Amino acid sequence: MTRIEINRLMKKLIFYRQNQLYKTYPIAVGRPETPTPLGEFKIYEKNPKPHPGLGTRWMAFTYQRHGIHGTFNPWTINTAATAGCVRMYNEDIEEIFPLVPIGTPVIIFDRQETEKIPEHTGKEVYFVRPGDTVESIARRFKISPEELISFNKIKYPKYLHPGKMLLIPQYNR
């Protein structure tokens, strides 16, 4: 079963696939005056070509038009900047969009917790830090930049965002 958890306090989207933690993503949430609603919802609509203000993908979870969407303002991620929606980097929403069926539960809460790390067999997890490049991360883990790009399906290798979760293949280590 697929499930999305939104931790407003940590500004993280936690994505589960087949009941297993798949990945976490940095997000922006609602401003104090227009907070992202707490509670349990379901994805009821998906749009692969939304209004440009919503980035490259849109998934609605309330009938008041709260949704999970991309952004053309990536500097707003990890902030409280929206009118109540959950904002993701375009490449992150594009990654999960095809994996999220209509009816997927969306659970939104506020809780301080440690970073959730998926237990992917044969892979190490790395979170991009400021100043990292595909080349510097590949060097650190003794793999080629092409392997890192391919393994993580990185769409824009020149634009790695801090907080992005990367899976590192272990076969070369």
Catalytic residues: 69, 85
Report d(CA 46, CA 124) in Å as an integer.
32
User: Which strand (E) or helix (H) includes residue 16?
Assistant: strand 12-17
CA dihedral angle for residue 56, residue 60, residue 61, residue 65, rounded to 10 degrees: 120
Buried b (16+ CB within 10 A) or exposed e, 94-133: bbbbeebeeebebebeeeeeeeeebebeeeeebebeeebe
Question: Per DSSP, what are the bridge partners of residue 58?
Answer: 47, 69
Q: Could you tell me which of 140, 145, 155, 148 has the C-alpha nearest to residue 169? A: 148
Q: In residues, how long is the chain?
A: 173
Type of residue at 48: P
Q: Are strands 80-82 and 20-26 parallel, antiparallel or unpaired?
A: unpaired
